[in-house]
Amino acid sequence: MKSIEFFIAYRFLKEGKAQSLFIFGGAAVGVAVIVFLTSLIMGLQSSIIDQTLGNQADIFVEPPTQEESSPIYQPQPNEVVFSRVEPRPQRVEDIDRWEQLIDDITADPDVTNVSPVVTGSSVAPRGPVTNPVQLFGVDPPRYQQIIDIEGRLLRGEFAVGNNGAVIGYELAQELDVDVGDRFRILDTLGVSRSFLVRGVFDLGFGTPNQTWIFLGIRDAQTMLDMGANINRIDVNVIDLFDADQVSARLSGRTEMEVSSWQEVNADLLLALRTQSASTFLIAFFVALSVALGIASVLIVTVVQKRGQVGVLRAMGASMRTVLRVFLIQGAAVGLIGSIFGTILGTGLAMGFNRLFRDPEGEIIFPIEPSVEIFIGACLLATFTGLLAAVAPARRAARLDPAEAIKNA
Amino acid sequence: MPEPILELKAITRDFGNGVIVNVLKGIDLTIESGEFTAMIGPSGSGKSTLLNIMGLLDQPTSGELLIQGNPTVELEDSDITKLRGQTLGFIFQAHHLLTAFSALENVMMPAGVRRGSFSKSIRSRAEDLLDNVGLADHMHKNVRNLSGGQQQRVAVARALANKPELVLADEPTGNLDTKNADIVFELLQRINDETGTAFMIVTHEERLANRCERIIRMLDGRISEHSPSTE
Ligand SMILES: Nc1ncnc2c1ncn2[C@@H]1O[C@H](COP(=O)(O)OP(=O)(O)OP(=O)(O)O)[C@@H](O)[C@H]1O
Ligand SMILES: [Mg+2]
C-alpha cells in the first residue's frame, strides 16, 4: 500500500468533517457497547469461576465408584410398603497406599499442590435437632495450598487434629458454639464424640458455611471408620484451564477416578457457554449495524467526491489506488472509532463498578476490561470498517473518469 | 520524422441505449509533438467528447487511437493509467482542482500518485511550477480559497507536473475575464515555447484561437475545417 493513498484518505475524511464525525461517533459507540458488554460478561463469569474454585480443588482423585446394588424388593407404583429402613452406614471407598499415589501425582509437571482428604457425611446433634454435616479430614498446611481457609477465617485459627475442628459460621450459629466451645458429631455407628471449635470460617456461600467441618486426618478416619485410608486427593494445577488435560493424564496413570473442575461443574460451564454465545450474538449484531452505518456514509462520500476521484484518475491514479483510498477510510473509521470506543466502554465499566454495589458497599462483581478485549475490539472494528468499505470503494474505483469529471 | 504524439483514425462515439446519438461521426486527426492547437466549435459539437477520448478518459465506439505509435484499444486499466500519467496532462474547464488539498499538493499529486508517495524532488518541482505560474505566495492555501484565475493557473501547473508530451485543455479560460484569460493563455504559450510541450486547447473565443499555430473547427461531430490545411 502506498503512502499517498493514506494521505488522500486522510484528507478526504478531513474534508467531510461533520460526516466523518458521525461515522467515527457511531463506530465508537458500537465498540463501546461491545467492550462494556464483553467486560461485564467476562467479569461476571470469572467471578463465578473464582467463587466456585475458591471452595474447590482443580482436580479430585477418588477411588473408582462401585455399582450400587439394587434393592431386594422393588415396590409397584401403587403399592404401599411398610418397612423400617435401616440406614446403611455410609460406604466410604478408600484409597490404599495413598502416600505412594500422592508421590505419583506430585511428579506430574503441571501439578502444583496435592492434599489428601478424608471426607464423608455425618450429623452434628444439638438437643433434639440434628444438623447434617460434611466432614473433611485434612492436613492444614497442605490443604491451605488448595483452598485458602486461613484467609477466610472469621475467628480462631486453621488448626485441627486432637479433636480440634474448624467449622462454617452458619453451622456455628446453628449449634450455638464459637471458638473454644465443644460440640458433638456422630460416627458411623451413631456414637457421638466431642470436638473443640478452633476456628470459624466464611467461604462465601451456602453449603460450605452451613455444613462443612474440617478435622484432622486421623480424627476423620476414626469418625468415618476408615482405618489408615483416605478417600480423596485434591490437586491444583498451574493453569486452571489445563485441568481437563491433566485430569485425563492422571486418570490414565492411576486406577482412580479423576475429575477436573470442568467435569464437576459441567452444568455451570454449559450455562456460562450459553451466556457467552448470546453475548457474542449481541456483539455481532451491534458490529453489523456499525458496519452498515459506515458503508452508507462512505457511499455518500463516494458520490460527493466523484469529481475529485475523476480528476485523480485523469492525473494517473489507478483504479486500485482509488479502491484503496476508500478501503483505508473504512479501516481508519473502524480503528480510530474503536480506540475511542474502548476508552468509552472502559469508562462505562468503571462507572458501573462504582455505582452498582451491594448493601455493604462491596463490588457485586468486578468488570474487568482487559488488554485482550482492547486489542480484540480494535482488530474486529478495523476489519469491520474495511469490510464495510468494500462496496463503496469498488463503486469509487469503477467511476468512469470522464463522467465523474463532467458531473462533478 | 518522429512518431506523432497522438493519432486518431476514424473515431466515432455513440451515446445512449435505445435512442442512440452519434456524437462523433468519424474523426481523423494527428498531433505532432510541440504543436499548439486550438479546437473551436459550437456548443454540443463534440469537443469535450473528443478531448476525453484523446485523453484516454473515455473509449471510442469505433476507430483507432495511437499514442506515440502504440495502439490503445484493449489495454488494461493499469496500462492506460500509466500511459496517461506519462504522456498526458489535463486542464479542465471548471479547473477541477482537488478541494481537499492545498495548491501545492494539487500540483504534487500527479507525480505523487505515479510514484506512490511524495518526495523532496516532487515538491521542489511543484514549487517551481507554481512559481512559474505566479503563485509562489499562494502555494499553501487550500484551493477553495483561491480566485478563479489563480485556480486555473494551479490547474496549468498541475497539468505540467509529469512533464507531459501533450496537454489537453478543455476551455481553460472559459470561466475567466478577458484579463485573466489572457494571462492564462500567454502562460500556455510561454510553456509551449520553453518546453516544447504540445497543447490542444478547446475554446469558444476566436480571438484566442487565432493566436494558435493550428485551428481545428468542429461542427456536428465532424472536423469541418482545418487551418492550416493538412491536405
Ligand atoms: N454521457 C453522455 N450521454 C449522452 N449524451 C452525451 C454524453 N456526453 C455527451 N453527450 C452529448 O454529446 C454531445 C456533445 O457533447 P460535448 O460535451 O462533447 O460538447 P461540447 O462540444 O464540448 O460542447 P460545449 O462547448 O458546450 O462544452 C452533446 O449533444 C451531449 O449532449
Ligand atoms: Mg465541452
* Segment of A226-230, B8-12, B110-114 carrying the highest mean pLDDT: B8-12
The verdict on B98 touching A (C-beta cutoff 8 Å) is yes
Q: pLDDT tens across B115-136, in order? A: 899 999 999 999 999 998 889 9
Number of the ligand closest to the Cα of B46: 1
Q: What percent of chain A has pLDDT over 90?
A: 26
Q: Would you tell me how many other CB atoms lie within 10 Å of the CB of residue B160?
A: 24
Q: pLDDT tens across B148-195, in order? A: 889 988 998 998 888 899 999 998 888 788 888 898 899 899 999 999
The residues, ordered by sequence, that sit 6+ positions from B29 with a Cβ below 8 Å of its Cβ are: B6, B7, B8, B216, B223
| CA pair distance B162, B130, nearest whole angstrom | 14
A138: β partners: A216
pLDDT at position A332, please? 93
Across the interface, whether the CB atoms of A318 and B81 are under 8 A apart is answered: yes
Nearest CA-CA distance, residue B231 and chain A, Å: 32
Q: pLDDT tens across A329-370, in order? A: 999 999 999 999 999 988 888 887 777 776 666 666 677 667
Taking CA–CA distances from B55, the nearest residue in chain A reads A314
pLDDT at position A77, please? 63
Are B115 and B122 contacting, i.e. CB atoms less than 8 angstroms apart? yes
Of B73 and A303, more confident: A303
Q: Which of B11, B13, B15 to mutate to test the pocket of ligand 1 (most atoms within 8 A of CB)?
A: B15
The verdict on B221 touching A (C-beta cutoff 8 Å) is no
The identity of residue A45, as a single letter, is: Q
Q: What is the pTM of this model?
A: 0.72
The three-state (H, E, C) secondary structure of B72-137, written as one string: CCCCCHHHHHHHHHHHEEEECCCCCCCCCCEHHHHHHHHHHHHHCCCCHHHHHHHHHHHHHCCCHH
Is residue B21 helix, strand or coil? strand
| CA pair distance B88, B92, nearest whole angstrom | 13
Nearest CA-CA distance, residue B181 and chain A, Å: 22
pLDDT at residue B231 greater than cutoff 60: no
pLDDT band at B94 (very low <50, low <70, confident <90, very high): low
Taking CA–CA distances from B99, the nearest residue in chain A reads A308
Across the interface, whether the CB atoms of B100 and A14 are under 8 A apart is answered: yes
Nearest CA-CA distance, residue A403 and chain B, Å: 9
Q: pLDDT tens across B13-28, in order? A: 999 888 889 999 999 9
The three-state (H, E, C) secondary structure of chain A, written as one string: CCHHHHHHHHHHHHHCHHHHHHHHHHHHHHHHHHHHHHHHHHHHHHHHHHHHHHCCCCEEEECCCCCCCCCCCCCCCCCCCCCCCCCCCCCCCCECCHHHHHHHHHCCCCEEEEEEEEEEEEEEEECCEEEEEEEEEECHHHHHHHCCCHHHEEEECCCCECCEEEEEHHHHHHHCCCCCCEEEEECCCCCEEEEEEEEEECCCCHHHHHHEEEEEHHHHHHHCCCCCCECEEEEEECCHHHHHHHHHHHHHHCCCEEEEHHHHCHHHHHHHHHHHHHHHHHHHHHHHHHHHHHHHHHHHHHHHCHHHHHHHHHCCCCHHHHHHHHHHHHHHHHHHHHHHHHHHHHHHHHHHHHHCECCCCCECCCCCCCHHHHHHHHHHHHHHHHHHHHHHHHHHHHCCHHHHHHCC
Which chain B residues are closer than 8 Å to A322 by Cβ?
none
| CA pair distance B170, B202, nearest whole angstrom | 5
Domain ranges of chain A: 3-52+269-406, 59-64+92-264
Task: List A residues 321-360 in contact with B (Cβ-Cβ < 8 A).
Answer: 321
One pLDDT digit (tens) per residue for chain A, 408 residues? 678 999 999 999 999 888 889 889 999 999 999 888 888 888 888 888 877 777 888 888 888 765 445 555 555 666 665 555 454 444 445 776 788 888 888 888 888 899 999 999 898 888 888 889 999 999 989 999 888 888 888 988 998 888 899 999 999 988 899 888 899 898 888 888 999 999 999 887 778 888 999 999 999 998 888 888 888 889 988 888 888 888 888 888 877 888 888 888 888 888 888 988 998 899 899 989 989 988 999 999 999 999 899 889 888 888 999 999 999 999 999 999 999 999 998 888 888 777 777 666 666 667 766 788 888 888 988 999 999 999 999 999 998 888 887 766
Taking CA–CA distances from A401, the nearest residue in chain B reads B57
CA of B76 from ligand 1 middle (Å) equals 26
Which chain B residues are closer than 8 Å to A14 by Cβ?
100
Q: pLDDT tens across B208-225, in order? A: 999 998 999 999 999 988
- Chains A, B: CB contacts under 8 A, how many? 78
Nearest CB to B118: which of A4, A307, A406?
A4
Is residue B170 helix, strand or coil? strand
Q: In this structure, what DSSP letter does residue B18 have?
A: S
pLDDT at position A363, please? 66
Q: Which residues line ligand 1 (CB under 6 A)?
A: B 15-16, 21, 23, 41, 43-49
Across the interface, whether the CB atoms of A3 and B116 are under 8 A apart is answered: yes
Taking the CA of residue A403 as reference, the ligand 1 atom at the shortest distance is 1
CA of B50 from ligand 1 middle (Å) equals 9
Is residue B192 helix, strand or coil? helix
Are A108 and A250 contacting, i.e. CB atoms less than 8 angstroms apart? yes
The verdict on A2 touching B (C-beta cutoff 8 Å) is yes
pLDDT at position A93, please? 59
pLDDT at position A82, please? 57
Across the interface, whether the CB atoms of B58 and A11 are under 8 A apart is answered: no
The verdict on B142 touching A (C-beta cutoff 8 Å) is no
> Phi and psi at residue B229, in whole multiples of 5°?
-60, 140
Q: pLDDT tens across A114-154, in order? A: 999 999 989 888 888 888 999 999 998 999 988 888 888 89
Q: What percent of chain B has pLDDT over 90?
A: 57
Taking the CA of residue B41 as reference, the ligand 1 atom at the shortest distance is 21
CA of B43 from ligand 2 middle (Å) equals 7
The verdict on A14 touching B (C-beta cutoff 8 Å) is yes
